[in-house]
Copies of this chain bind each other. A is one copy, B any other.
């Protein structure tokens, strides 16, 4: 069930596409295009530290200082940059609480929460790769 009709439509196709890997036309790109779902997901988590910031927020709302405390080696500049990006992407919301000193909370949006399965899959895949590497050391060529 792999080699089939090459003879339909206007033969613009160059391939047979695996329907699990590429279920619809948006995945049949010849270049890294912004509209491709894979690129969208990668863009959502792109940038160093981003997955760690998301991990913290998955555990619940955090203030700027909370995040700095949990990720002490992440500079304020980068943290603020990441939070701005995530906010711009609609994955995180900033809540300013009244009073003094200013209190701010960062919370995952419902969209941001939907990244959870991806983070879990990243963890699982990474674990698999680590195990495979242990069996077949990286330089067994």
Q: Does A76 contact B (CB under 8 A)?
A: no
Whole-angstrom CA separation of A34 from B7 in the bound complex: 47
| Residues of chain B lying within 8 A (CB to CB) of residue A38 | 51, 119, 122-123, 126
A129 touches B40 (CB 8 A): yes
Number of copies of this chain in the oligomer? 2
Q: Give residues of chain A (56-84) contacting chain B, Cβ–Cβ below 8 Å.
A: 58-59, 69-74
Residues of B within 8 Å of A117, CB to CB, are 121, 124-125
In the complex, which of the residues B30, B118, B128 contacts A114, with contact meaning CB atoms closer than 8 Å? Answer: B128
Can you list, as one digit per residue, whether each of A1-23 has a CB less than 8 Å from chain B (1) or not (0)? 00000000000001111101111
Assess whether A105 is interfacial by the CB under 8 Å rule: no
Q: How far is the CB of A98 from chain B (nearest CB, A)?
A: 19
